[in-house]
Amino acid sequence: MASKPRNERRQFLQKAGLGAALTGIASTLSTPIWAKTIPQELTATLPAGMRQPGSEFSNYGQPSTHEQGVIRWISANSAASGNGVSWTPLHDLQGTITPNGLHYERHHNGVPAIDPAQHQLLIDGLVNQPLSFDIKSLLRYPMQSRTCFIECGGNSNSGWRTNPIQTQAGYAHGLVSNSEWTGIPVKLLLQEAGIKPEAKWVIAEGADGASLNISMPLEKLMDDALLALYQNGERLRPENGYPLRLVLPGWEGILNVKWLRQLRLTDQPLMSRDETAQYTELQTDGKARQFTFLMEAKSLITSPSLGMMLPDNPATYQVTGLAWSGRGKITRVEVSADGGETWLDAELQGPILAKAFTRFNLPWHWQGEYAILQSRATDETGYVQPTRETLLDNRGKHGFFHYNAIVSWEITEEGDINHVYGF
């Protein structure tokens, strides 16, 4: 199994005529450079950074000034600047961990300024003993780390539109990010309060300007949910829920309540605005899907993608992207260069973690022909990422949430890249 894709890739490259390019690596081996004396006048041509001391230490490092274009893209309500989203620039990133400052944001009414000394978490409702916790106490509990993605239910929702949006990959699909979250298994605190047998749901509430409240199954909180205090090793950023948030691996972003202040156990869901009016998917027959918590398997080629171009040909380009599934591990990502006619297995970069970003790579030899690049993810349950046509056949065109169809990048003969809908 492991060697078969490799052979296929080799064939793909040979078919595409890469053989000649690979044999061109011939170097001129002459006298080693260190055997020569560098004339004094040449040292003046060395980079400035080699001829003077560098800048001082910093208390908290920042990206290079040359990378200032790598930013979250903000789309906020013009009348309420704290209501909106900011998108992770997936097209500018590599690896699988999203830098904390680039983790996507969805705020319903801005980022609250919370003094951790004043913050409390209340666990009440159908428990034997309502309990409150301060942050200092929570920091003394045993912690676990979990690398997982969080994806907004509304990610990629431009895909429902009739015409393909011409936006960079991250700014259309980057309401998803991947972090190592560290915190307390929610189960520990619920057990401390004592769960009554009739409890089935939990209403979580945030301490933000929307006092966001939403119901979630107790079963999930008892399974793998974390009360996260740390993100990628440091305390949560304010925009990611400081001082504490819920993390429900693989389930839609809205449930991962930030600035968490209360967990109330109940026997039925609340039917709050964000579980009825929003984060539900209207179908063609006028009925809406509700409690669609799982984020299904999805993948996306992040490079090459819209906003880039292929500068020359024939040449080899490294097709790379991300795949993830709320059900578990990604087991396969296939890449097509002909709009889905033929597919090749991409190499999956390890370690492959359940409910986390998996990076895939496949070298592609391009000779200037018209192409449509696509990726298709499969997860360990056998679920295969659908085509847009299949998704719309199943869900209609007004679902708005949970768009996970295959993304297609058109490569023109000039090397320009456009977003198109697949065939």
Tell me if residue 146 falls in helix, strand or coil: strand
Q: What Cα–Cα distance (Å) separates residue 130 from each residue in 186, 190, 213?
A: 15, 10, 19
- The verdict on 357 binding other proteins (CB under 8 A) reads no
CA distance 405 to 342: 17
Query: CB of 285 within 8 A of CB of 271?
Result: no
DSSP string, 296-327: --EEEEEES-BTBB--SSSEEEEEEEEEE-TT
CA distance 275 to 238: 24
* Candidate ranges 33-41, 314-322, 361-369, 378-386; the one touching other proteins (CB under 8 A): 378-386
- Residues 38-67 as x/- pattern, contact with other proteins by CB under 8 A: ------------------------------
* Candidate ranges 11-19, 148-156, 221-229, 290-298; the one touching other proteins (CB under 8 A): 290-298
Q: What Cα–Cα distance (Å) separates residue 182 from each residue in 47, 152, 177?
A: 42, 20, 15
Q: What residue type is 150 in one-letter code?
A: I
Query: CB of 62 within 8 A of CB of 79?
Result: no
CA distance 241 to 260: 7
* Candidate ranges 15-23, 77-85, 242-250, 352-360; the one touching other proteins (CB under 8 A): 77-85
Q: How far is the CB of 330 from other proteins (least distance, A)?
A: 15
- The verdict on 118 binding other proteins (CB under 8 A) reads no
Q: How far is the CB of 82 from other proteins (least distance, A)?
A: 8
Q: Encode 21-64 in three state secondary structure.
A: HHHCCCCCCCCCHHHCCCCHHHHCCCCHHHCCCCCCCCCCCCCC
- Residues 205-224 as x/- pattern, contact with other proteins by CB under 8 A: x---xxx-x---x-x-----
- The verdict on 411 binding other proteins (CB under 8 A) reads no
Q: How far is the CB of 220 from other proteins (least distance, A)?
A: 9
CA distance 332 to 297: 11
The residue (of 267 and 416) whose beta carbon lies closer to other proteins is: 267
**Ramachandran sector of residue 38 (left: φ over 0; alpha: ψ -120 to 50; beta: rest):** beta
Q: How far is the CB of 4 from other proteins (least distance, A)?
A: 17
DSSP string, 99-132: PGGGS-EEESS------GGG-EEEEEESBSS-EE
- The verdict on 192 binding other proteins (CB under 8 A) reads yes
The residue (of 297 and 411) whose beta carbon lies closer to other proteins is: 297
Q: How far is the CB of 325 from other proteins (least distance, A)?
A: 12
* Candidate ranges 53-61, 151-159, 286-294, 310-318; the one touching other proteins (CB under 8 A): 286-294
Which run of H or E residues covers position 389? Answer: helix 388-395
The residue (of 102 and 255) whose beta carbon lies closer to other proteins is: 255
- The verdict on 80 binding other proteins (CB under 8 A) reads yes
- The verdict on 193 binding other proteins (CB under 8 A) reads yes
- The verdict on 74 binding other proteins (CB under 8 A) reads no
Of 288, 315, 344, 420, which lies in the binding site for other proteins, with binding defined by CB under 8 A? 288
Angle 303-369-166 from CA coordinates, rounded to 5°? 45
The residue (of 71 and 294) whose beta carbon lies closer to other proteins is: 294
- Total binding residues toward other proteins, as defined by CB under 8 A: 69
Residues that bind other proteins (CB under 8 A): 77-80, 83, 108-109, 120, 122-125, 129-134, 137-138, 140-142, 188-189, 192-193, 203, 205, 209-211, 213, 217, 219, 262, 264, 266, 268, 270-273, 276-277, 280, 282, 284-294, 296, 382-386, 390-391, 394-395, 398
